[in-house]
Amino acid sequence: MINRRDLVLGSALALAANGATAAQAHHTSKYKNFKVEAKYEPQTVRYSMSYTAGTIVVDPKNHFLYLIERWGRARRYDVGVGKAGLAFKGVASIERKAEWPRWTPTRNMIRREPGKYAKYADGVAGGINNPLGARALYLYKNGRDTYYRIHGTTQPDSIGRSVSNGCIRMVNDHVIDLYNRVPLGTQVVVL
């Protein structure tokens, strides 16, 4: 359980490590001045569940992603997750990583909302207007692409909500931080 002292200390350390709370990664003009509240910056927290250091644990119910650092501690990020019925659940591994990745909606996304996604059936080049944002970590299970990703977003105000088509989205600066910390083969557990 997190006590007030650890929470305050963790927040202070996160601020010191990250400097200003303004999101620095490229964002669309709508969000160019987007600021992350200090309490939502990545921070080291107590984490009592037993996972090997380096494992990513996603808690969709509470909108957190944890990168396990050592027993009892993890780096916590706030995330946006999939709408009810669209989210991945289980264990996967990161088998591909991309900077400013290309995005193509899945066939299911186009089928569910053709007016919104059919025009992107050929894909969208990487860049600030791409829905995958600055980085993407591709989740595979048993050697097969799950079509679920941990990625940045063009809508940083969606963090902390269940609004995506199933992927785990992060503020661009935060996904860049995570991307730089995890290698290919990293295990991801989505509760």
Decide if pLDDT at 143 tops 90.
yes
Residues 14-18: contacts with CB under 8 Å, at least 24 apart: 14/38, 14/41, 14/42, 14/43, 14/44, 15/41, 18/42
81 neighbors 168 (Cβ within 8 angstroms): yes
> Is position 120 within any domain?
yes
DSSP three-state, residue 73: strand
Decide if pLDDT at 1 tops 90.
no
State residue 149's pLDDT score: 94
Range of the domain at 32: 4-186
35-46 per-position pLDDT tens digit: 777 878 999 999
pLDDT, averaged across the chain: 83
Which CATH number do you get for residue 86? Answer: 2.40.440.10
State residue 146's pLDDT score: 93
Decide if pLDDT at 18 tops 50.
no
Residue 186's nearest CA partner among 73, 71, 56, 79 is 56
53-87 per-position pLDDT tens digit: 999 999 999 999 999 998 899 999 999 998 765 77
**CA dihedral in degrees (87, 139, 167, 125; nearest 10)?**
-150
* Cβ neighbourhood burial of 15 (10 Å; 0-12, 13-18, 19+): middle
State residue 114's pLDDT score: 92
Q: What is the percent of the chain with per-residue pLDDT over 90, rounded to a whole number?
A: 53
**CA dihedral in degrees (89, 92, 96, 101; nearest 10)?**
10
State residue 36's pLDDT score: 75
> Is position 134 within any domain?
yes
> Is position 119 within any domain?
yes
> Is position 191 within any domain?
no
> What would you report as the CA-atom Rg of the chain, rounded to the nearest whole angstrom?
16
State residue 75's pLDDT score: 98
* pLDDT class of 171 with cuts at 50, 70, 90: very high
> Is position 46 within any domain?
yes
State residue 39's pLDDT score: 79
* pLDDT class of 31 with cuts at 50, 70, 90: low
The CA distances from residue 182 to 68, 124, 178, in Å, are: 11, 26, 6
> Is position 150 within any domain?
yes
Decide if pLDDT at 34 tops 50.
yes
Tell me, rounded to whole angstroms, the distance of Cα 6 from its chain centroid: 24
State residue 32's pLDDT score: 66
> Is position 55 within any domain?
yes
Number of domains in the chain: 1
Kindly list the catalytic residues.
Answer: 151, 167
Separation of alpha carbons 102 and 182, rounded Å: 20
Separation of alpha carbons 139 and 150, rounded Å: 8
> Is position 161 within any domain?
yes
